[in-house]
Amino acid sequence: MVAPGTGWYLAAIANVDGDLDDDLVWRNDLTGLVVAWIMDGDDLVGSSLIGQVPLTSTGVLETALDLDDDGVDDLIWWDPASGGMGWWKLAARTLAGATVMPYVVPQSSGWRIGGRGDYNDDFHPDLLWRRDDSGANAAWLMNGVGARSGVQSIPSVSPSSGWTLIDGNS
């Protein structure tokens, strides 16, 4: 079992094995490895190597959500410099495929991924985007097959309000 140590950080909370229990996804910045700790409630029952990111990659593992409605969360990557986005499709604790998403949101735009949720009650998880400078929020409404079906505005929260957006996956 992989134990966190030098270079490891908790990158996402995700259901990587389809059992409805949240698992812990770790990334090592020194090796590029991405590993999941398989949880059963609060018990660690195993670990699984998900994949490896090239050390030259500037992509950041932003969040996890089930983009394709197969019961297993997938990993969403974002490269703040280029704005490019990627999707690691997971199946039964392993990487089943990697896709470059057709969306580009550079960090210079002021937007960042702020979390996930179902913002239009269609039972498909959506991506929440936030502008920390203005407090603007918007949801990318996802359609269950990995594509964006629309954008929904969400009320702004002024940065001067003292409120901070938190999410278990950001």
Nearest by Cα to 37 from 61, 7, 60, 17: 17
Q: Residue 71: what pLDDT? A: 92
Contact 27, 64 (CB under 8 A): no
Q: How confident is the model at residue 89 (pLDDT cuts 50, 70, 90)?
A: very high
Per the prediction, the chain carries an average pLDDT of 87
Contact 95, 116 (CB under 8 A): no
- Residue 168 above 50 pLDDT? no
pTM of the model: 0.86
Q: How confident is the model at residue 3 (pLDDT cuts 50, 70, 90)?
A: low
Q: CA-to-CA distance for 30 and 66, rounded, in angstroms? A: 28
Q: How confident is the model at residue 27 (pLDDT cuts 50, 70, 90)?
A: very high
Q: Residue 141: what pLDDT? A: 93
Pairing between strand 94-104 and 111-117? Answer: unpaired
- Residue 120 above 70 pLDDT? yes
Neighbouring residues of 112: CB distance < 8 A, sequence distance ≥ 6: 80, 129, 130, 131, 132
Which of 54-58, 68-72, 114-118 is least confident?
54-58
Q: Residue 167: what pLDDT? A: 61
Q: Which residues on adjacent β-strands are paired with residue 64?
A: 75
Q: Residue 170: what pLDDT? A: 41
Higher pLDDT, 146 or 71: 71
pLDDT tens string 127-141: 999 998 999 999 999
